[in-house]
Amino acid sequence: MRLLLRSIAHTRPQNPLSHTVNESIGQGTLSRHTAHTTQAGRTSIAAMGNKNSHFSDEELDVLEECTFFTRREILKIHKWFKQIAGKTKDTLTRTEFLALPELAQNPFKERIADAFITNEDSNVTFDDFLDFLSVFSESATRDVKAFYAFRLYDFDEDGYLNEDDIKKVLKLVVGEEFTEEEIKTVCDNIFEEVDIDGDKRLSFVEFEHVGALFARDARVRVHSGTK
C-alpha cells in the first residue's frame, strides 16, 4: 500500500511548490521551529500588510513569532510582495496570486487560494501572502503541513475526507495517468489501511497517518524577484 502511495507522489506533476525556499529569502535552509499562525496571531497582525516600507520592531516580533521566517526573511518577502502588488497597492488580486510561479502549475492552486485568502473581497493581504509562504516553507512542521493539506483535500468542508474527496485528490495528483478503476483501487486501499473506525471517511487523526505521503513535497520556492 505504501509503495502504491509513493508511486502516486512520484507521478505528481512538477510544480514550484516542490522546491525549497530560495536563498534569496533564507540564505540557505531555514531552521525555525515556531508554532504556525493562530487565529489570534492573525488578528494581531491585521493591516500590517498596508505598510509601504518597513515594520516596527513590535510588528516584526509578532510576524517572526507567528511564522517560520526570520526578520530578514520577512522584510525580503515584504519587498517581493510590494514588487508584485505595485507601489500604489496594498493587496494582490486573486488572479495575481494564482499567477505566481509558485502556484501557476499547481493542481491545488484554487484550493490553496481558498485556504489562505481571508478578505471577503478575495484580495490577498500581506498577512495572507506571508502565511501561505510560511506554511509551505521547508521549515514548517509536519503537523502544520498536515493541517493545511487536510483543509485542501476536504472539498466539501465537512471536517472529514470521504471517498469523493480522496478521488478528487487522486485525480488532481495523477491526472490521466491512472484509470478510474486504478483510482478506485487506491482509494479503497487507503480506507482499508487508515480508516481506523471503518466509517468510510477519514478524520484528521486518521489522515495524519497517510497525509505526509500526499504532501511530502509541500515546499515553496521563493521567486528571485525578492533579491
- Which CATH architecture group holds 2-11+157-214? Orthogonal Bundle (1.10)
Model confidence pLDDT, tens digit, residues 137-185 = 999 998 898 899 999 999 999 999 999 999 999 999 888 888 999 999 9
State residue 224's pLDDT score: 35
Domain ranges of the chain: 2-11+157-214, 23-143+218-226
57-107 confidence digits (pLDDT tens): 999 999 999 999 999 999 999 999 999 998 789 999 999 999 998 898 899
pLDDT tens, residue by residue, 113-138:
999 999 889 999 999 999 999 999 99
Residue 222 has pLDDT above 50, yes or no: no
Structural element, H or E, at residue 201: strand 201-202
**What is the grid cell recorded at 176?**
490521466
What's the whole-number mean pLDDT along residues 207-226?
51
Query: Could you give the CA distance from residue 157 to residue 132 in angstroms, rounded to a whole number?
Result: 19
Please state the pTM of the whole predicted model.
0.69
Q: Are 50 and 123 in contact (CB under 8 A)?
A: no
Range list of H helices, the chain: 2-11, 23-26, 39-44, 57-66, 71-85, 94-98, 109-116, 126-135, 142-153, 163-174, 180-194, 204-214
2-11+157-214 and 23-143+218-226 agree in CATH topology:
yes
Q: What percent of the chain stands above pLDDT 70?
A: 68
CATH code assigned to 23-143+218-226? 1.10.238.10
Radius of gyration (Cα) for the chain, nearest Å?
18
